[in-house]
Amino acid sequence: MQAIGERWSTYLVAPLQFIVCFATVVSCIVLGGQALKAIFEGQELSLYQFTIVFGCMHMLLSQLPSLHSLRHLNLCALLASISYCALVVYGCISAGSTRDLRNHEYSIKGTHPQKMFGVFNAVSILSNVYGNVITVEIQSTIRQPAARNMMRGLLLCYVVVISTILPVAVTGYWAFGNISNGNILQNIFSEGGKQYMPSWSFILLNILILVQLIVTSVMYSQPTFTVLEEPLYYSKKPMTMWQGILLRLASRCIFTVFATLLAAMLPYFGSINALIGALGYTPLVFVVPKIFYLCVFKPRSGGLERRLIYFTLAIFSAISFMGCVASVQQLVMDAKKYHLFANL
């Protein structure tokens, strides 16, 4: 706020932060519903009903008062994520060692425009994956010295993200080529009617997904809860303890209902993920910090540093715009293929 002023912070940064947090919650609820449906496969329930169940789980945990109260759950989510990635890598290696890789195709499918849109869509997803470690970090309170502790947190996050996601991507594409699904479990457990891991591991993997998703969704809800509730908590008229509890219950339940409704209506996780990256993470992580740097440090006009910053600003702004176009185009294609409350 001190770097660009209160007005720009309110009308530029705050909307981006809200888009990132809200859309991440929606995508977590989408995936959570899919994971629940996979665990209880064979039940006569549609995907949107499982999505509502996951939304209710989110509603319960969202009553935890702050990010600090999630620290132990966050550790459980980290362990679940590492365990999930390790099991998926094992499954991909098992699949690759039993399949005839000579018949694999690793080329990108589609026409030239489809490939181009696919590239920008993928870049938006990468912005989501590698940018989300920054967003909550810069919104939460960092103990002093803030800069050093923030860098430690970011380095730890990036080590975990790279060491888990990169092996899954490499082994998955090696094992299945260009038929790799956005949800790699579909390749491991149902590709060509074959299973490359025991059936019980499929349920275990989806339970690990649920643990990670429920904590992530609640964590990304907290900044929005803070913005909604703080003006009422610290109004001129002091609130009693029970009034505060009722306020928290009402505001968080309403937020969860809206997020769950949107997730049930549009269960297209890949496209939603790309849209989050294009609209939120790319500008918030790669564009806005450069604007802050220009405002605070004021590099010499016409100097190499300022030119380099302007160049990268133009590049990432273009990537954000093209990624937004590509992700919206993919959403339109999904809307033609599916329908509202689709039972995927």
For residue 302, the domain's CATH number is 1.20.1740.10
Tokens of 243: 């009034």
Is 108 inside any structural domain?
Answer: no
Is 225 inside any structural domain?
Answer: yes
Is 104 inside any structural domain?
Answer: no
Is 1 inside any structural domain?
Answer: no
What are the backbone dihedrals phi and psi of residue 76, each rounded to the nearest 5 degrees, phi first? -60, -40
Looking at residue 211, its pLDDT comes to 93
- Tell me which residue range forms the domain holding 193: 6-99+113-337
Looking at residue 260, its pLDDT comes to 94
Range name among 31-40, 133-142, 235-244 with the lowest pLDDT average: 133-142
- Cα 228 from Cα 17, distance rounded (Å): 14
Is 328 inside any structural domain?
Answer: yes
- Cα 52 from Cα 207, distance rounded (Å): 17
Q: What ranges in 62-111 are assigned the alpha helix state H?
A: 71-98
- Say yes or no to pLDDT of 43 above 70: yes
CB 124 within 8 A of CB 275: yes
Place 131 in a pLDDT band, splitting at 50, 70 and 90: low
The contacts of residue 232 (CB under 8 Å, 6+ apart) are: 239, 247
Range name among 29-38, 75-84, 275-284, 303-312 with the lowest pLDDT average: 275-284
Bin 239: left if φ > 0, else alpha if -120 < ψ < 50, else beta. beta
* pLDDT tens-place string over residues 176-227: 888 888 778 888 887 766 788 888 888 999 999 999 999 989 988 888 888 8
Looking at residue 222, its pLDDT comes to 86
CB 180 within 8 A of CB 173: yes
* pLDDT tens-place string over residues 17-39: 888 888 889 989 998 998 999 88
Place 328 in a pLDDT band, splitting at 50, 70 and 90: confident
Residue 75: burial class (beta carbons within 10 Å; 0-12, 13-18, 19+):
exposed
CA–CA distances in Å: residue 191 to residues 24, 184, 212: 29, 10, 25
Place of tokens 């969202």: 62
CB 323 within 8 A of CB 282: yes
CB 214 within 8 A of CB 33: no
Q: Pick from 259, 178, 199: which is nearest to 188 by CA?
A: 199
Is 293 inside any structural domain?
Answer: yes
Is 105 inside any structural domain?
Answer: no
Is 254 inside any structural domain?
Answer: yes
Query: What letter would DSSP give residue 42?
Result: T
Secondary element (H or E) of residue 139? helix 112-139
- Tally of domains within the chain: 1
